[in-house]
């Protein structure tokens, strides 16, 4: 389970930090700090506070889009979109040990990602699976069939993004994704720890059977 933060839904920067801390307690596997409306200084301050909140938990801090911020705060990784710094340049800046994720939305973008030098990208974020209000400029929804088609072709692990809820985890896992990224399923919830724990348990329970269907 992969938490992507939303400053508005979390109730401001302090809410982002507390949500990240509680989500780590609830068992999320990664936290991505995302705030496209923040200034660079605001985003550095927010990411630094989240990094401190996650210290000792083993949960990595990923920064959305902003390679400069990821470098400034010593994040564990960065997740890039199609209009961000190209992954080859990002890898040259980070070196081999920092996680780099890349969002893709269709087969063409998958083909381009698979044409990158080996080791450039560690993870593909595939979606949006559903249309989502958290990103108004997102590509059209790919659905679970589109997710499955990309997962089948990709040797790079894929995470489902965009409108994912707890009830979707079996379908996400059956499609071949290694994880699911969520925002509203944790951000803004009365008890982020409980929400994260329920999602983590739901993911663990959605084990594909021999036919590839999740149960």
Res. 26 pLDDT band, cuts 50 70 90: very high
Look at residue 213 and tell me if it is in a domain. no
Look at residue 188 and tell me if it is in a domain. yes
Is pLDDT of 49 > 60?
Answer: yes
Looking at the structure of the chain, the number of domains it has is 1
Look at residue 95 and tell me if it is in a domain. yes
Instruction: Tell me what the pLDDT averaged over the chain comes to.
Output: 94
Look at residue 211 and tell me if it is in a domain. no
Look at residue 160 and tell me if it is in a domain. yes
Range of the structural domain that residue 167 is part of: 2-205
Is pLDDT of 138 > 90?
Answer: no
Look at residue 24 and tell me if it is in a domain. yes
Binding residues for Mg(2+): 65, 84
Res. 210 pLDDT band, cuts 50 70 90: very low
CB contact set of 67 (below 8 Å; sequence gap of 6+) = 78, 80, 84, 85, 90, 93, 94
Our answer to whether residue 34 is catalytic in this structure is: yes
Report the C-alpha gap between 70 and 67 in whole angstroms. 5
Our answer to whether residue 103 is catalytic in this structure is: yes
103, 122 in Cβ contact below 8 A?
no
Task: Say what the pTM is.
Answer: 0.93
CA count, 13 A, side-chain hemisphere, 53: 23
From 51, 91, 135, 189, the catalytic residue: 135
pLDDT digits (tens, 9 = 90+) for 112-136: 999 999 999 999 999 999 987 666 6
Chain-centroid distance of CA 184 in Å reads 13
How does DSSP classify residue 187? Answer: T
Report the C-alpha gap between 127 and 143 in whole angstroms. 8
CA distance to 14, 31, 65, 180, per residue, from 124 (Å): 29, 15, 14, 11
Per-residue pLDDT, averaged over 72-83, amounts to: 98
Predicted pLDDT of residue 139: 79
Res. 212 pLDDT band, cuts 50 70 90: low
Look at residue 184 and tell me if it is in a domain. yes
Our answer to whether residue 135 is catalytic in this structure is: yes
CATH number for the domain spanning 47: value is 3.20.20.70
């Amino acid at each position: 389970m992969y938490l992507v933060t939303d400053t508005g839904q979390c109730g401001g920067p302090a809410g982002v930090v507390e949500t990240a801390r509680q989500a780590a307690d609830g068992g999320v596997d990664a936290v991505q700090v995302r705030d496209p409306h923040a200034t660079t200084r605001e985003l550095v301050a927010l990411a630094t506070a989240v990094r401190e909140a996650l210290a000792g938990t083993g949960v990595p801090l990923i920064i959305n889009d902003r390679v400069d911020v990821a470098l400034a705060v010593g994040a564990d990784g960065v997740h890039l979109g199609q209009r961000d710094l190209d992954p080859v340049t990002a890898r040259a800046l980070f070196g081999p040990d920092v996680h780099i994720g890349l969002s893709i939305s269709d087969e063409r973008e998958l083909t381009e990602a698979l044409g990158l030098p080996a080791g450039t990208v560690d993870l593909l974020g595939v979606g949006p699976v559903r249309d989502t209000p958290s990103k108004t400029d997102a590509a059209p929804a790919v659905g679970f069939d589109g997710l499955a088609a990309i997962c089948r072709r990709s040797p790079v692990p894929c995470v489902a993004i965009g409108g994912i809820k707890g009830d979707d985890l079996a379908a996400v896992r059956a499609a071949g994704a290694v994880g699911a990224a969520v925002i509203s399923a944790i951000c803004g919830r009365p008890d982020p720890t409980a929400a994260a724990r329920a999602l983590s348990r739901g993911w663990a329970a959605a084990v594909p059977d021999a036919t590839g269907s999740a149960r």
